Homo-oligomer: A and B are copies of this chain.
Amino acid sequence: MEMLNKVCEGLELIKRRNPLVHHITNYVSVNDCANITLTIGASPVMSDAIEDIEDLIKISNALVLNIGTLNKRTIESMIFLGKEANKINIPIVLDPVGAGATKLRTETALKILEEIKIDVLRGNMSEIKSLLGVSSNTKGVDSTEKMDGAEDIASLAANRFSCVIGISGEVDVISDGKEIYKVSNGHSILTKVTGTGCMVTSLIGSFLGAGCEPLTACVSSYTVMGICGEEAYKKVGNNIGTFKVKLFDELFNLDETKIKEGGKIEKC
């Protein structure tokens, strides 16, 4: 299948090009985001000081904006750096953590989407719906939303925000407004580790930084994370601490064969 080939190519590109992925992200999962970026073969850099990031973006290949623990200072930095990235065509992925849960989060994500050209917007159903102004249920930063209608929501959001949308769920739904992909890899235990969504976002940054198209980057990230989650679970079962450790082992050793055999990507 064509998309599975693209996932393999993308992984190969990351390892060859070793893109630098700049992050303005939250302080909860930041260490895992740095490690997942290294694990897949890219290089992470984390900095949120406006005096510091102007120089860093010039040597970066992609930008991750994650509003997980936003505040006035880092919001300013995100807006500033997003615009700088746009000027020099650095691709951007936005993770609107907790949009819908607070006015500040919803408004910040919308402001970023309005003022900055975003390539991929990845969130859960609650977050994406709240950005569309569609009523939704949210519980802090975790979604309690069912995935009914995710394809329509993804499509709608892709057209509204002119970017690729990734909606995380039991089946992940990805759309660029024209095509829709579904990735059914993964395991529910992934939702019991904090920051797995953020980690997918960092993977998207890695694929984007390696030169992949946004749609490919998003589908690929869900696919590799999902396959590794399945494999890790097979090996360690219901042991949440060991599972998280094993997830990194699996991603570090992921290869073409495992992707082609294990990838469950469906084009709708």
Residues on A close to B: CB < 8 A?
20, 22, 26-32, 34-35, 38-39, 43-49, 51-56, 59-60, 68-73, 98, 101-105, 138-142, 192-195, 238-242, 244-249, 252-253
Contact = CB atoms under 8 A, between A and B. Distances in A.
Nearest to A38: B192
Contact of A48 (B20, B71, B142, B192): B71
Given A28-B31, A102-B52, A241-B249, A46 B20 contact: no
Contacts of A253: 238-239
Given A139-B20, A252-B240, A195 B31 contact: yes
A49 B241 contact: no
8 contacts: A28-B46, A34-B195, A43-B142, A49-B69, A51-B72, A53-B102, A59-B139, A238-B252
A29 B31 contact: yes
B252 A192 contact: yes
A56 B52 CA distance: 28
B56 A102 contact: yes
Given A28-B30, A139-B43, A193-B35, A49 B242 contact: no
